[in-house]
Amino acid sequence: MDNNKKYIYFDHSATTPVLPEIAEIVGKCFLKFYGNASEPHTPGQQARELLDSSRLAIANALGAKPREIVFTSGGTESDNLAILGTAEAYQKKGNHIITSEIEHPAVLMPLRYLSRKGFRITRVGVDKYGMVDPDDIRKAVTDDTILVSIMHANNIVGTIQPIPEIGKFLKERQILFHTDAVQSFCSIDTQVDDLNVDLLSISGHKFYAPKGIGALYVRKGTKIIPRLLGGGHEHGMRSSTENVPGIAGLAKAVQIGQKDIKEKFKNISTLRNYIKDSLLEKIEDISFNGHPSERLAGNCNFSFKYIEGEAIVLRLDREGIAVSSGSACSSSSMKPSHTLTAMGLSAEEAHGSLRVTLGFENTKKEADHFLEVLPKIISDLRKISPLYNK
């Protein structure tokens, strides 16, 4: 492995590179803000001040109050805390939870665990674009429903769900609503009052902050039974000495990410459409997965007939281009993506899929190189595919 090789990085949904200015702040915090934010002495209070200002920055980006932000270790912990924490807190009220077929395992696995503990879980399906129908949620709700968890934008095809509409209905019914905004935060608007959500998960490494830091928004008045018990940090919802350098990095990433968000969305989607249109023109037996317009700016997801996405990923890697054949978690299991099969793709079509996810630092020059290299790889792989006989 050549660690000095310059990669074309098109896998931003898996993780983003840490921006130098964010790495600089995090590094500085390790050295200068080493105090324990719970201690009354000066180093502790310096860390506390930084923690408080970072919390305010994240709360502002969500249109929330600082007390409604709980720092966690990332998206998985935020999702687990939202689901397991409210399920336990509200179990006397009911035992029914609704979710969708296309959620991330960080949502599906705690729900599977709850189903073994006696909760009833309803998983609503999606249409061919990976979109949840709000009517399906309305129909699934019963008097026992205590929580609905629907992701804001999907990690495989980027489809943006009708969260405000679902949330409006759930608010009227006084049912808690959680959204996993790990893929959408700092890409599209995530004001909690516009989305009508009570709980919202974010993860730093999806918007240029380090891995291992995230947050859960918990609307005032929402009860959560903590998963980590200890010194009572994070308003008693998540004990453990705060990761001040990571949190300061998260706040800086939010500040950068929220700046010119609409303009960045436009620029990234222009590059995305250029890649999409060029590939659909250059390559035969290819299809574009996900919603034509209601999708994250940087997401392209294709299916190539007769070949495996995994083989394309490895060949592109040899050419210095990083893409994905699914989410990082499902890539290692070699199972077809559950999002794609829920959208009605066959296992073969799902196995032949490739996810290309762009960031604001990607250029047309990089796209052009990718467009030059990929058709040749597809043609080479098809020549050796037993399924291809043209």
Residues with a catalytic annotation lie at 329
Chain residue at closest Cβ approach to ligand PLP: 75
Site size for ligand PLP (CB under 6 A): 16
Please identify which residue in 48, 55, 96, 104 interacts with ligand PLP, judged by CB under 6 A. 104
Of the pair 202, 367, the CB lying nearest ligand PLP is at 202
* Strand order from edge to edge, sheet including 286-288: 286-288, 299-304, 353-357
Which run of H or of E encompasses 70? Answer: strand 69-72
Residue 238 touching ligand PLP (CB under 6 A):
no
Residue 387 CB, nearest approach to ligand PLP (Å):
30
Give, in degrees to the nearest 5, the angle at Cα 374 between 370 and 376: 135
Query: In angstroms, what CA-CA distances link 354 with 76, 89, 304, 308, 363?
Result: 24, 40, 8, 9, 20
In the block, tokens 């079509």 appear at 349
Give the Cβ contact number of residue 216 at 10 Å: 26
Of the pair 106, 358, the CB lying nearest ligand PLP is at 106
Pair type for strands 299-304 and 96-100: unpaired
How far is the C-alpha of 156 from the C-alpha of 338, rounded, in Å? 9
How far is the C-alpha of 284 from the C-alpha of 277, rounded, in Å? 12
Query: In angstroms, what CA-CA distances link 46 with 53, 105, 176, 366?
Result: 11, 38, 36, 43
Residue 253 CB, nearest approach to ligand PLP (Å):
13
Give the Cβ contact number of residue 67 at 10 Å: 12
Residue 99 touching ligand PLP (CB under 6 A):
no
Residue 180 touching ligand PLP (CB under 6 A):
yes
The residues, any chain, with a CB within 8 Å of residue 144's CB and separated by 6 or more, are: 94, 95, 96, 120
Please identify which residue in 155, 196, 289, 324 interacts with ligand PLP, judged by CB under 6 A. 155
Site for ligand PLP in 64-93 (CB under 6 A): 74-76, 79
Please identify which residue in 182, 296, 311, 356 interacts with ligand PLP, judged by CB under 6 A. 182
Residue 165 CB, nearest approach to ligand PLP (Å):
20
Please identify which residue in 106, 114, 312, 374 interacts with ligand PLP, judged by CB under 6 A. 106
Residue 183 CB, nearest approach to ligand PLP (Å):
5
Please identify which residue in 59, 84, 151, 323 interacts with ligand PLP, judged by CB under 6 A. 151
Of the pair 145, 330, the CB lying nearest ligand PLP is at 330
Give, in degrees to the nearest 5, the angle at Cα 201 between 268 and 82: 160
Of the pair 146, 153, the CB lying nearest ligand PLP is at 153
Site for ligand PLP in 320-339 (CB under 6 A): 327-328
Residue 183 touching ligand PLP (CB under 6 A):
yes
How far is the C-alpha of 250 from the C-alpha of 50, rounded, in Å? 12
Q: What is the CB-side half-sphere exposure of residue 136 using CA atoms within 13 A? A: 16
Residue 166 CB, nearest approach to ligand PLP (Å):
17
Site for ligand PLP in 2-41 (CB under 6 A): none
Of the pair 76, 222, the CB lying nearest ligand PLP is at 76
Residue 352 touching ligand PLP (CB under 6 A):
no
Of the pair 47, 156, the CB lying nearest ligand PLP is at 156
- Counts for the chain of helices (H) and strands (E), in that order: 14, 12
What is the binding site for ligand PLP (CB under 6 A)?
74-76, 79, 104, 106, 151, 155, 180, 182-183, 203, 205, 214, 327-328
